[in-house]
Structure 1
Amino acid sequence: MKVMVGLDESNGSLYALEWVVSNILKPKQDTDHTLHQNQDLLVYLVHVNIPFQTYVYPAGPVVYTTSSVLESVRQAQDQISAGIFARAMDTCHKNEIKAEAINLRGDPKEEICQAADQKQVDLLVVGSRGLGMLKRAFLGSVSDYCAHHVKCPVLIVKPPKELADKQELVQRKA
């Protein structure tokens, strides 16, 4: 079985991973209570960085781009991805689940769907940020897009109310 979990900076995505690990992907336990790792199980951890828009400054007949700024943004995004993957891999290793990290660049909803199709996963798991109807209409929803465009079953994991309230409070402060 191959499972893909979409991750971002939110606590909701890590909660989705923890939920699917503890409720669906638990290692098998024999009658003597020893754990046996499911050898056929592979979890793909996917994080998508949104490309930084470059700005072009005309200087006479030659056009210069801000490549140093672009490179520093990419490095910062890669560091954020590394932190996300470290937390997610830790969850998988604690539960004796084989995992592979995939870092992509582009539109998250399109990249996740493409990766799920390319890896031929059996299940795609995404967290729900709990956007209201109006925000979802204007901003779009990765989970909604994936549910309608990916070829495999999609599991959307809603965070518990306490976690959703905490995430909303953090977003308001930002």
Structure 2
Amino acid sequence: MRVMVGIDESDESFHALRWTLDKLFDGMSTRTAPPEEANQEEAANLLTLLHVQKAFHNYGIPVGAGASAFYVPYSIEESIKVKSLILEGDPKEKICQVIEQMQVDLLVVGSRKLGKIKRALLGSVSDYCAHNANCPVLIVKPPQEASK
């Protein structure tokens, strides 16, 4: 299965990545299969982390702020191939382009829980992808607050 997770600096996108690792790829390294089947399954499993940033104008060099690191647990790396991509452009359009180019089976994105008005004014990457991507899109909502 080829799964792509859209990542930005938000907590919601990291929650979507954690959800994907826990729910879709957890336990893959403990599966037992004949060696020839295991190699085919390993080759078919691809997790792509995609970060799309707005085009940067060369007026200065960013230092420190906004830097993010993505860590994938070692047990996951043993059983699936992990690829990281950082691209420039409009996130909505780039995500849909990469999905088509890489023949992704599932896109996972986080939800910022924008209301209808904010979504209409600001635009929602998850909403755009849900309507325009040529693969299923799973929108992971952030966890409920424990204080409610």
TM-score (norm 2): 0.80
* Alignment partner of 1:106 is 2:56: no
CA contact (8 A) 2:29 2:75 kept: no
Structure 2 gap segments, 5+ residues each? 33-37
CA shift at 1:28, angstroms? 5.1
Larger Rg: 1
Aligned length: 137
Report the equivalent of 2:30.
29
Find 1:43's aligned residue among 36, 42, 47. Answer: 47
Report the equivalent of 1:11.
11
Secondary structure in 2 matching 1:95 = helix
Q: How does 1:7-156 map to 2 (within 5 A)?
A: 7-26=7-26, 27=28, 29-30=30-31, 38-39=41-42, 40-52=44-56, 54=57, 67=58, 69-70=59-60, 72-73=61-62, 80=67, 83=68, 86-87=69-70, 90-96=71-77, 97-156=80-139
Q: 1:133-167 CA distances to partner (integer Å, 9 max, x unpaired)?
A: 1110100100000001110111100110239x9xx
CA shift at 1:20, angstroms? 1.3
Identity of aligned residues (%): 49
CA shift at 1:91, angstroms? 2.5
CA shift at 1:51, angstroms? 1.5
Report the equivalent of 1:159.
142
CA contact (8 A) 1:15 1:159 kept: yes
CA contact (8 A) 1:109 1:146 kept: yes
Change in 2 beyond 3 A, CA 1:76/1:104: farther
CA contact (8 A) 1:18 1:91 kept: no
More helix per residue: 1 or 2?
1
CA shift at 1:21, angstroms? 1.4
Change in 2 beyond 3 A, CA 1:148/1:92: farther
Q: What do you get for the CA RMSD once the two structures are aligned? A: 2.5
Structure 2 counterpart of 1:127, one-letter code: G
Secondary structure in 1 matching 2:145 = helix
How far apart are the structure 1 equivalents of 2:137 and 2:74? 23
Secondary structure in 2 matching 1:161 = coil
